[in-house]
Structure 1
Amino acid sequence: MTMSDSMAKSYLAALDAMNRSGPRDLRRNALVQAEEFGSDIEVSDAALRAYLAASSASDDELRNELHIKLAKWDNARPEDADWTAGTGANTPERRAVVLAKLGVELETAQLFGSLFPVHGGDGTVVIAKEWNPWYSEELIRARDFYWSHYANHLRTRRGWDERAITSLHNATRHVVERLSEPTRSEPYQAKGLVVGYVQSGKTANFTGVIAKAIDAGYRLIIVLTGTTNMLREQTQRRVDMELVGRENILRGVDIDSPEALAAVDYQEDEDWRDGKFVEHGCRPADVGKPDIHRMTTRRFDYQSLRQGISALDFDRPHRSKPLNHPDNLLATDARLMIVKKNGPVLTKLVKDLKRITARLHQIPALIIDDESDQASVNTTNPKRWQAGKKSRTTINRLISELLGMLPRGQYVGYTATPFANVFIDPSDAQDIFPKDFLISLERPPGYMGAEDFHDLDSDVPLVDRTFENSKERAHLRLVDDPDSDGDLRRAIDIFVLAGAVKLYRQDRGYPRFKHHTMLVHEAMHTDIHRTTAEQIRRIWDEAGYYSSASHARLRAAFENDLSLVSSALVGELPTPAAFEDLIPYLGEATRRISPAGNPVLVVNSDQDIEQDEVNFDHYSVWRILVGGNKLARGFTVEGLTVSYYVRAVKNADALMQMGRWFGFREGYRDLVRLFLTPDLRDAFESVCLDERSFREELELYAAADEDGRPRLTPAEVPPLVSSHGIRPTTAAKMYNAVLVERRGGNISGNIERSSGYPPMSEKAVLERNVDACVPLIAAASELETLSDKGKPSFDALIGTVSHDRMVSVLGELTWATPSTFAPDLEWIRKLGPDVITDWRVILPQQKRGRRASLRAQRPVSLHGRAVDSNDKVRGNSTSAHREVIHNLEVGATTGKLILYPVVDRKREMVAGIVENDPPGVVMAVVLMMPRTVSRLAKTKTSGVLQWRTVDSSKPPYALVDG
């Protein structure tokens, strides 16, 4: 053992001794521990700094343990640790307390700050009822087993850093602490909803929740997956691999024995053979922790138990006490089942549960409903219900039965598209409305989501868009004619080139890309999948990938697309400088994509088409996948790089769930391409705006009152589901939703109705709107430079008008649909002088570009925006402008209006020339309500409402006829 190894072990032992105490003098404790390794070991801050400077961030044990401990201490709750001195979690003040407790020198503290920066804080948004706190730090420490093994697996096997681990710890704790205490004498059933992002790690979150729940005492875990076997099997394997572990899977069977071949369903799994499944080091029961009994396996969904119902029963060592008593509960093993949302399967489960001898009301159970907006929601038409009796769809009825049988059963739904869930009647006690908590997860680092494919707020003129400043230019490719071969061939060319780039990067030290896939999604019908597969095979055969015949075409795609985007976005990843550098890898990429000459895998319900190799666990998959609904929700398409998507969808949640191209793309983010039609591009952009609006509303409602109590409960929060384009969800899931008065945009007071402007073809209407806005343009007579810390400055014309004048102007505006703005205007008109007295009018100006004089007023900038297929401007305000103007100091009763004269960005205009009254100008407005409106929010009288849930136990809400 070298001296540096001995010093590291001394510090490691010192850190280990602080598990319960919190931070203490680091050097002094390391000196005590060093006596075991030799008296000549140098233990000093200088030696520690030298060691850390020379260490590796990825595999040095001391460096990693320091990072873990600092993150844990940064994140500790003040109520759980006296040493925090009341400082807030994840703040510079907390880190200062930690460093003082550790007694490190200034130089060491600075090095810690550089190597282990303070996590930015808990970005989880929580709306919840008050609850009885029970999930304390002391309980976590006393029972921690599965969570610590799971976190360590994420750290060592999946490469998560401490920031990601801390974020997951925070988010999962928010869920578990709001469940009922498993040992409480009186049963309580909590129901909640967790909203994530499509393909963003919801499985990791609910796996963490299960780990903590089992540690805390929950003994029956039921995970309801989507409606396909593929998704259920993928979920089962993931939970088995990362949580259940080898010892619980083997159940005492020798891994090398013949019995293991029959007992273990992962013998052919590459990760099982390579030792990548969690290992607990022993049978959990041997160290006083609960074993996990799997009631389902990778191959088999839940079936009536052939081994007897006793497999599902729970032992009670103390027969005189209930199962939920600590003396029984902590000595009882857990049961885990991962079940497809299928009527016959859930019927068997309900039937078996009714037969177990342990009384159901004593079992602390946790039901995780993945994709909870699919199948779980009741979609029967209330108009067809019999008098006094609700009808339920099959899955909704069976979930309701499960919850009715298990009064200690907690229900937690997970989804990325929550619109259907928030439209559930809050007063229906047997349904799954999240009455106790609604949690919105923060966007994880490294995630590539909807906003990464669209220029939602960009004010960069179309002609100035580049691969570097435009997400659409970098990643989107428009399909002009889905019926021709041209765009599909172009997509396949990019896919082949991207595969070659991945091999190029592997050769230069980047980790292996196990999977490389392309998704072609044109329709849900299996006969079209067959036709598409034949089309792809024909294109492939004609493409000449196996010879130099394709090189001219591939060179053009590389030089005009792939190379330019990678140069703009790639950072330090190795990237070919010229097409010639890529040629040696094209042959290998082609062979991998097309083994035996077939590049296509069809994934649907047809049994006579090759499908078995789309098993990402058993095989390395480099193929083009053709499919529909099986690949559209929940299922992760590993290595997805190129997507060709031309299937029309009518609802926002369905469209968002089709986005399999969302997710984590480490090492090849620059290679990701999405081919879709212009209409679908516009629809996705609308859904992005809907999703962002919903999350912003949740965040604003999540604030607590002055006493720290929740200001609103989930049942009191109106689900402010906006619709910038298509309907939020299917009509069958909106029987309980109504369109109501919109009041003030969102609770912070922004109103922007960009989807409601008149079509560009209605020239007379556009001209009348210009006339209506003349008083605003005339008032904005002062040119000022606006700036805010960290934001780009810009010039703006500014002026002030009275509230009456503003109401008059707004009342003269004509919208494509009268109801677009009428409910907002009705509310604004009613506001008295104690709320609003006047308005600051702001017209942002561009330093260069188009300018016009409207109705002989002072020249103003014309802002270019895209025009969609319905001839309507896709004109959103610029986020940089909104943020600066939002912080612009005005009086408490002064509102702000941002006015954008907008034109089609493709329109030819000469910079520097001022046009007089040019045609086709759309007067786009954004209203920011004064601070007094935010105060109204606390009395629940403010907020924008577009779709709202009907609570059948309360009188109907008044609707405003726009």
Structure 2
Amino acid sequence: MSNTPAHALLGIHTSALAGMVSAPKHFERWAALAAEEDYPDADLSEERFRACLISGDEALTALWRRHLTAWDFAEDPQWALGAPARTDERRTAVYERLHFGTDLRKAIDDAVPVAKVPGPTVITRDFTPWYTPERTTARSFYWTSYERKLRAKGWSDAAVASLGEASRAVVERLTDPEQPAARQAKGLVVGYVQSGKTANFTGVAAKAIDAGYRLVIVLGGTLNLLRAQTQRRLDMELIGQENILRGADETDVDSLVGVDYVGDDEDWPAFVHHGGRPSTLGAFDIERLTTRDNDYKSLAQGIRALEFEKREPTRPLYDQANIHHAAARVLVVKKNKSVLTKLVKDLKQIHGLLGELPALIIDDESDQASVNTLDPKKWERGSTERTTINGLISQLLKLLPRAQYVGYTATPFANVFVDPGDDDDIFPSDFLISLPRPTGYMGVQDFHDLNSPIPVAERTYANSQEKTHVRSIYESTGDRLQEAMDAFVLSGALKLYRAEHGVPDGPFRHHTMLAHESVRMDDHADLALRINSMWHQAGYSSVAGHERLAALWKSDFAPVSEVRAADLPAPTSYEELRPYVHAARQRINSGGQPVIVVNGDTDRYFAQLELDFDRTPHVWKILVGGTKLSRGFTVEGLTITYYRRTTQQADTLMQMGRWFGFRPGYRDLVRLYIGREEAFGRKRSADLYEAYEAICRDEETFREQLAQYAAVVDGKPQITPAQVPPLVAQHLPWLRPSARNKMFNAELVEVRSPGRPIEPAAYPLQSTALKRNTERWRPLLNALSATPTTFSNPPDASSTRTRTFEALTGVVSHRDLVSVLSQLEWERPRHFDPHLTYLRQLDGTLAKVDDWLLISPRIAANERVEASILGSVPLSLVRRSRQQPSKTSFGRIASLGHRVAAQRLIDKAGRPLAIRPKHGAGVGPTTGVALLYPVVEGDAHSSVQSVIRNGAADPSKIVMAFTLIPPASAISANRRLVHFRAKDSRHRDVATIPVNLGL
């Protein structure tokens, strides 16, 4: 009994688990049934099972990993009794169903830990459930093939299950393709830049086709190269060899005429095999209406054929009797006027059938070209003007009444600001899904030390992402371009070394460097010429060249790899690496041209570049480019980035982050040479690294708040997609979330800021308005004590000493403060209203705030200029300048040290602090803090002196600026923070609130 062979035990377990597709069941009983015929005396004890796991039985462990992962990820199954997915509670529920004992549970947990990865975040409208487990199990031909392909590519069971969960979340919110009533659902899926969004929409397409969708249109990029990349991916991982060949014999050259991939794509053997034509295996075929080499040409014949594929001609195509026997049609088309116009024209020729055809439109990079950028103010009443691609997508949706639209993007800001009242547009009215950050992905967070408690001086390669991967370009360091190029050669040599010492060379097929300094094509040519000259003068085969590389290896790559890639093979000396340096140099210089300029915008241009990473065996080059490299074009093998160009749009800047993505086997080699403020000789707004850090914070805030609101309250969604725009944040005032012409419909209604600073910026320009505002502050200024209070900030990452400053303080009631704020005038009307709406509710309506501690900081004595304002005690006047180019808004009002001190008061509310304003009150849990600054515009010291007469400041030349930090308790029980909507054209008479998202 104890000698039951391992293969027999594996077979018994396999058979037993095959009977548990829908739910885990009493394992011992099912195993006994499986063993009854062939192995009636098999040892099915928990002790034997446990011993196999402990001994490392890989086959048995893999079998259980697959099933346990499926149960761990299952979406709210009845058998789980409410235990959340991917938690210890869910795993316990599984064990209870299997009737496993304590020791076996521990062994399984050690062998197959719970994959506690986050699931997708879903913001949704109510929908009618139709995509049931029973339905998905019954029809899963193409999804099952796709799963197998992903596992063959090395995806873990957890990664496959995560993708399955995320793609199911999309499909179940589409309309049931079998339902009689035609209904369109529109959604948006938000991923990370270069994080595998294609994998998700391939999974969505697979599940949607299995469920009954018979026309899938993928809008894939604006160039043939990008479209072909998407087509190839779908052909390889979803459609498969049999559908591509359509019965052609691979051994018969004549029958392969016109068939792509066969004979000219080295990955053809890796394309999905279904084991025969799907239609002969009880499933249905997929007919491609576009191919790798040919964009859309003709639709009519392919679609009209569906009429002849009906088994019941008298019933509509979507009827269950017909839909699951008809072939699916797939098109991958460019977002191109002529292509989409032809598609629309052909659809118009087809009558009747389109009303029966369940269709799915997948829009990759849906914030590019797809969004209408015409100002709605210019629309004639009842008439909507559209940009070309947006108009054509709108026509597609009209022609296909059963079409579902799903947009994909990593930068969703433009999409969520689409007019929700425009039923023909692409606003994601039904759902918005934020995909989890994939395992192994390198994103913004991997290049910044966000909120790191470690002092800067103590950061090392082991504890600092910035120190590991970022090489700042300051004016004082020179341009570091030679160093970046040396790093490219060294990292290539290390890849070749690893490939020869046991690391699969698949990840090292391509090796690239990206240099980006300007959007101007002339600048690209100059930079390419310069890099070419540097390359030929670098002396990579000379003594001096090797000495330079050896120094960089010793000071940078060797110590980084030692702590970040200790499990990967590494040379013990530069001499051991030297032969691979020679090989890397040869690959980069192949054809005598190490540099390729990538800045064209035509298909012909890209065709002559030979930059098809799918069809070219090895691309080892330095790419010089601009915006054409920013969207959709994946730079494979990107290891070294040299980046010195900025922009004022967050989504554009994020899309330029080509260094984001998956770097298997060489994550430790990735380097980002990035411009810092001194390198540009400009204001801080030009600091690229700071800009990316701000975007990172904005992105994480957006995702965190999506997750917060995704939780269902009382069985209902907290917010719908129409209410998502308030979650779009902005940390840097000069960096907008999206282009101005994509934000016409942004309307901010309320911003709640419990425990967080409120700092408006658009103060009036006219002296009369300034004077009125200053006079309104008079009662609060009179509350300030003449005796200063000392504030101190403890040492932090930037300083080892305690910093102090003095300020005049006072306490005023919440009612008095709101009274003043409600009367203030702004350069942009209603600029402060979203915050004022929140503050007015802190009278007990939303939460209770009793009073506010006023703090008017005093400037350092050697720079201090004081003056009385409308009879107040003397206050320190400060200089601030309004921002370019609009000159309507100031930059940051509060000094960093002052804001830190104020924030500490709020964060430590109720704790004893050495602050005793004249009223004797401390800072309690219902007290807010207000920093007050009498601001004089200008940079020069004389500008401050000029506004003072006889010790008093001219109120018409003073901007009474402020920063408010409400107490952390100033929030409702539901924790909602914002109210912000896209302007709805169905209510055109409602006044638009001009919005500055940099509030």
2:836 is matched with which residue? Answer: 826
2:897 and 2:327 mapped to 1: Cα distance? 55
Q: Secondary structure at the match of 2:137?
A: helix
1:933 is matched with which residue? Answer: 971
2:129 is matched with which residue? Answer: 133
Q: 2:691 is aligned with what amino acid?
A: A
2:100 is matched with which residue? Answer: 104
Q: Secondary structure at the match of 1:338?
A: strand
Deviates more, 1:281-290 or 1:342-351: 281-290
Is residue 978 of structure 2 the alignment partner of residue 943 of structure 1? yes
Q: 1:433 to 1:464 in 2, by over 3 A?
A: same
Deviations 1:565-612 (A, max 9, x none): 223422422333432332232111111222133212333438589511
Is residue 756 of structure 2 the alignment partner of residue 751 of structure 1? yes
Q: Secondary structure at the match of 2:488?
A: helix
Q: Secondary structure at the match of 2:332?
A: strand
1:737 is matched with which residue? Answer: 746
1:259 and 1:777 mapped to 2: Cα distance? 97
Is residue 659 of structure 2 the alignment partner of residue 670 of structure 1? no
1:53 is matched with which residue? Answer: 54
1:199 and 1:108 mapped to 2: Cα distance? 41
2:879 is matched with which residue? Answer: none
1:764 is matched with which residue? Answer: none
Q: 2:705 is aligned with what amino acid?
A: E
Deviations 1:644-682 (A, max 9, x none): 122332311111111111111122111111122112223
Q: 1:874 to 1:283 in 2, by over 3 A?
A: farther
Q: State the 1:269 CA deviation.
A: 5.1
TM norm structure 1: 0.82
1:819 and 1:959 mapped to 2: Cα distance? 8
2:18 is matched with which residue? Answer: 16
Q: 2:358 is aligned with what amino acid?
A: P
Is residue 450 of structure 2 the alignment partner of residue 456 of structure 1? yes
Q: 1:2 to 1:320 in 2, by over 3 A?
A: same
Pairing of 1:112-123 with structure 2 (within 5 A) = 112-120=108-116, 122-123=118-119
Pairing of 1:384-783 with structure 2 (within 5 A) = 384-480=378-474, 486-512=479-505, 513-605=508-600, 611-678=609-676, 679=686, 680-706=688-714, 708-723=715-730, 724=732, 725-738=734-747, 740=748, 743-745=751-753, 749-752=754-757
Q: 2:17 is aligned with what amino acid?
A: L
Q: 1:933 is aligned with what amino acid?
A: I
Q: State the 1:259 CA deviation.
A: 3.7
Q: 1:780 to 1:600 in 2, by over 3 A?
A: same
1:874 and 1:108 mapped to 2: Cα distance? 60
Q: State the 1:503 CA deviation.
A: 1.9
2:658 and 2:397 mapped to 1: Cα distance? 32
CA contact (8 A) 1:477 1:674 kept: yes
Q: Secondary structure at the match of 2:270?
A: coil
CA contact (8 A) 1:875 1:924 kept: no
CA contact (8 A) 1:780 1:841 kept: no
CA contact (8 A) 2:421 2:986 kept: yes
Structure 1: unaligned runs, 5 residues or longer: 759-767, 786-793, 844-853, 856-867, 902-922
Deviates more, 1:498-507 or 1:295-304: 498-507
Deviations 1:138-189 (A, max 9, x none): 10111011112212211222x2212222221221111111100001011110
1:139 and 1:635 mapped to 2: Cα distance? 37
Q: 1:752 to 1:570 in 2, by over 3 A?
A: farther
Deviations 1:63-82 (A, max 9, x none): 2221111111223344x54x
Deviates more, 1:370-379 or 1:605-614: 605-614
Q: 1:412 to 1:877 in 2, by over 3 A?
A: farther
TM norm structure 2: 0.79
Q: 1:652 is aligned with what amino acid?
A: A
Deviations 1:870-923 (A, max 9, x none): 9979969999x999997999999736769999xxxxxxxxxxxxxxxxxxxxx9
2:417 and 2:132 mapped to 1: Cα distance? 33
Q: Secondary structure at the match of 2:428?
A: coil
Q: Secondary structure at the match of 2:330?
A: strand
CA contact (8 A) 1:221 1:365 kept: yes
Is residue 200 of structure 2 the alignment partner of residue 215 of structure 1? no
Q: State the 1:410 CA deviation.
A: 0.3
CA contact (8 A) 1:379 1:732 kept: yes
Q: Secondary structure at the match of 2:275?
A: coil
Q: 1:796 to 1:205 in 2, by over 3 A?
A: farther
Q: 1:950 to 1:501 in 2, by over 3 A?
A: same
1:131 and 1:474 mapped to 2: Cα distance? 47
Q: 2:926 is aligned with what amino acid?
A: T
Aligned residues: 881
Structure 2: unaligned runs, 5 residues or longer: 677-685, 764-776, 796-801, 856-863, 866-882, 885-889, 912-922, 934-960
Q: 1:197 is aligned with what amino acid?
A: Y
Q: 1:29 is aligned with what amino acid?
A: W
Q: State the 1:805 CA deviation.
A: 10
2:860 is matched with which residue? Answer: none
Pairing of 1:343-382 with structure 2 (within 5 A) = 343-356=337-350, 359-382=353-376
Q: 1:883 to 1:364 in 2, by over 3 A?
A: farther
Q: 1:100 is aligned with what amino acid?
A: E
Q: 1:132 is aligned with what amino acid?
A: T
Q: 1:111 to 1:876 in 2, by over 3 A?
A: farther
1:712 and 1:302 mapped to 2: Cα distance? 39
CA contact (8 A) 1:147 1:212 kept: yes
Q: 1:944 to 1:325 in 2, by over 3 A?
A: closer
Deviations 1:470-492 (A, max 9, x none): 3222222223469x995221111
Deviations 1:435-454 (A, max 9, x none): 11111112112111112222
Fraction of identical pairs, as percent:
43
Pairing of 1:72-87 with structure 2 (within 5 A) = 72-78=70-76, 80-81=77-78, 83-87=79-83
Q: 1:703 is aligned with what amino acid?
A: A
Deviates more, 1:243-252 or 1:923-932: 923-932
1:405 and 1:953 mapped to 2: Cα distance? 27
Q: Secondary structure at the match of 1:751?
A: coil
1:217 and 1:148 mapped to 2: Cα distance? 15
1:615 and 1:107 mapped to 2: Cα distance? 50
1:762 is matched with which residue? Answer: none
Q: Secondary structure at the match of 1:377?
A: coil
Which is higher, the Rg of structure 1 or of structure 2?
Answer: 2
Q: 1:613 to 1:428 in 2, by over 3 A?
A: closer
Deviates more, 1:892-901 or 1:320-329: 892-901
Q: 1:546 to 1:784 in 2, by over 3 A?
A: closer
Q: 1:312 to 1:654 in 2, by over 3 A?
A: farther
Deviations 1:787-807 (A, max 9, x none): xxxxxxx9999x997764995
Q: 1:92 to 1:256 in 2, by over 3 A?
A: same
1:587 and 1:90 mapped to 2: Cα distance? 48
CA contact (8 A) 1:779 1:801 kept: no
CA contact (8 A) 2:318 2:356 kept: yes
Question: Which of 990, 993, 996 is 1:956 aligned to?
Answer: 990
2:251 is matched with which residue? Answer: 256
Q: State the 1:366 CA deviation.
A: 0.4
Q: State the 1:219 CA deviation.
A: 0.5
Q: 1:816 to 1:560 in 2, by over 3 A?
A: farther
Q: State the 1:728 CA deviation.
A: 1.8
Question: Which of 149, 156, 171 is 1:153 aligned to?
Answer: 149
Deviates more, 1:454-463 or 1:336-345: 454-463
1:93 and 1:68 mapped to 2: Cα distance? 18
1:918 is matched with which residue? Answer: none
Q: State the 1:23 CA deviation.
A: 1.6
